[in-house]
Amino acid sequence: MEKTEITFWGVRGSMAAAGPKTAKYGGNTACVEISCGNTTIICDAGTGIRPLGHELIKRSKGKKIEAAILLSHLHLDHVIGLPFFKPIYQKGNRFVIMNPGRSASRLKADLKKLIGAPYFPVNILDVPASIQFKEFKMKPVKIGPVTIETFKCNHPDNSFAFKFRFPNGKTLVHISDNEPSNDRHKALVRWISRADILIHDAQYTPSQYENKIGWGHSPYIYPVRLAMEAGVKGLVFFHYDPSATDEELDLISAKVEKSGIVLAREGMTLLV
């Protein structure tokens, strides 16, 4: 059976961090593409969705582009790239935008406020492509052949994790913004149990986290604990702090690589 491709287009958290010190891992904010047969699912619309848009146009070879865009939450680093996503300016393309924390009407209204005057010259409701806002209720949703479930994370203003079940029986869990929580830990372990790949927020080092408690992000040792307790087969660190340099991330990689843990980089593709 055909495998699913997971491609990272933005791996940074909080704000973009361009420059020579972040060139190896990348400075764009959160955006992960899931390609399962003819189905394209995009997790979050940080600045990484801009280069993804160019790639989708290139791949399409003039054909219409269709995709589902799942927003974990509406903090700026997860939606700021949407008005720069070139395929929405092409007539005939079709997109569905969903966020588990909002009804379709509220999601539409919130994005209209953000992407439109006085903050942006084009309103999200006026772009040439077809955009449908859909409610993502707290129950399994099917997009193409992929079944998706959600889990409410520990993050200000509510962020949601996504669990994807693919036709080949494999499972991917995507958790972009999540802080350790005694109240939710056991439930989260059960929810991610035996996932084939876990992508998880790894914004801080343990020492940095001591001064960031309550900010809604994890030290990289927390997803390690989660993965071990849940019997996860593969763990990928993601959503790095904007201040983290390539050199600092290389040091973390050296500490965890013997355990098979991978640090996400822009342009990296995984097969599941």
> Which CA distances in Å does 127 have to 22, 55, 92, 107, 139?
33, 19, 11, 16, 30
Give the mean model confidence (pLDDT) for residues 67-74.
Answer: 97
Handedness of CA 48, 54, 57, 60 (dihedral sign): negative
Q: Whole-model pTM above 0.85? A: yes
Question: Above pLDDT 70, what percent of the chain?
Answer: 100
What's the token pair of residue 172?
């991917």
Give the mean model confidence (pLDDT) for residues 204-210.
Answer: 96
Give the mean model confidence (pLDDT) for residues 163-173.
Answer: 96
Question: Above pLDDT 90, what percent of the chain?
Answer: 96
Q: What pLDDT score does 137 carry?
A: 81
Q: What pLDDT score does 1 carry?
A: 63
How do residues 117-126 score in pLDDT, each as one tens digit? 999 999 999 9
Q: Is 201 exposed, middle or buried (0-12, 13-18, 19+ CB in 10 A)?
A: buried
Give the start-end residues of each E strand in 158-226: 160-165, 171-175, 197-201
| pLDDT band of 43, cuts 50, 70, 90 | very high
Question: Which residues neighbour 182 within 8 Å (Cβ) at sequence distance 6 or greater?
Answer: none
* Integer Cα distance of 28 and 12 in angstroms: 6
All domains in the chain, ordered by first residue: 5-271 (3.60.15.10)
Bridge partners of residue 5, in order along the sequence: 35, 271
What type of residue is 95? F
* Integer Cα distance of 103 and 95 in angstroms: 17
- Helix, coil or strand: residue 22: helix
DSSP string, 125-137: GGSSSEEEEEE--
Q: What pLDDT score does 101 carry?
A: 83
Tell me the pLDDT of the chain averaged across its residues.
96
> Which CA distances in Å does 129 have to 88, 101, 121, 124?
5, 24, 17, 10
Residue with structure tokens 């990289």? 220
Bridge partners of residue 19, in order along the sequence: none
Give the mean model confidence (pLDDT) for residues 186-191.
Answer: 97
Q: What pLDDT score does 251 carry?
A: 97
